Structure 1
Amino acid sequence: MTVGLNKLLVKAVVIVSFAAMTACTAGTVYYDYRHTVQTGWDKGDTLVFSVPRVATAGKYREVVCMRTTGAFPFTGVTLVVEQQSVPRNIVRSDVLKCTLTDEKGNVNGKGVSLYQYEFDLCDIDLNGGDSLNIRIRHDMKREVLSGISDIGVKIVKCD
């Protein structure tokens, strides 16, 4: 009797976990990348994303995406993400610390020679007709970062 109950409990946990992980994946409303300069991403080079108006009001998850090569010399990168919602003119600024490797130095990203990462930034409430202007720059001590090939933004409707 206990074995059957344990199996049922495990199945329930798996189903709830899956539902929680996929809660905001049903409706990607924006997904785009900007390339960085091949010689390196300069600290003063801000990448700009113009998210078009959303059709319906609701909660949206913002995700910052990154692609790196084996030439990236650090275990992580700090990004500054500034955004403005239009027409409500709500301004928000976040510092996103992106860990790219584990404690042993193994790459956390997916891929072979180009590694892809996704980092949840925040959830945001938008009204129908709202759009976003998002600006991303790095905040590292080194002025020029080699090994970051692309930075992206994904906006996903949660409800």
Structure 2
Amino acid sequence: MERRRSFPDVLAGGIFVLIGGAFVVGALGYELGTPTRMGPGAFPLLVGAAVVALGLAIAGKGLIAGEVISFGPIPWRAVAVIVLAVLFFGFTIRRLGFVPTTAVTALLTTLASARVRLLTAVAVAAGLTVASTLIFVVGLQLRIPLWGPWLGL
């Protein structure tokens, strides 16, 4: 019986192990506390350990019972637009405010796909902006200005 190895699964598992390990190492710099009174390092340590365990499971599955999957062409347009959208959000949230920054970010990420039409992208961006505002600003009461100083509002 031939064993197939899945390089994407092994790679993804390795990335999970690296990220989870970084969280574990970072958490050890904080006080862990006790199980009844957890310190600031307890939660990142637990999450990091869970991510490491998940990464090991994914990599193990890829080594033992992987599927042979070939990578298709890399969608460079989508990669570039999504990276641009994340950078836009990070650099403009304080100056434009939550609503316009979220709207533009959602519009950019929706337009990352070549199959989405402009009207659909605008509708999705509007829905995501309303939902995000209700969740983060109204529901969770994050202190983020809805409109920033660049808009003069």
Do the structures match in fold with TM over 0.5?
no
Say which structure is richer in strand: 1
Q: TM-score, normalised by structure 1?
A: 0.25
Q: Relative contact order, CA 8 A, sep 6+: which one is greater?
A: 1
Q: Whose helix proportion is higher, 1 or 2?
A: 2
Larger Rg: 2
TM-score of the two chains, using structure 2 as the length reference: 0.26
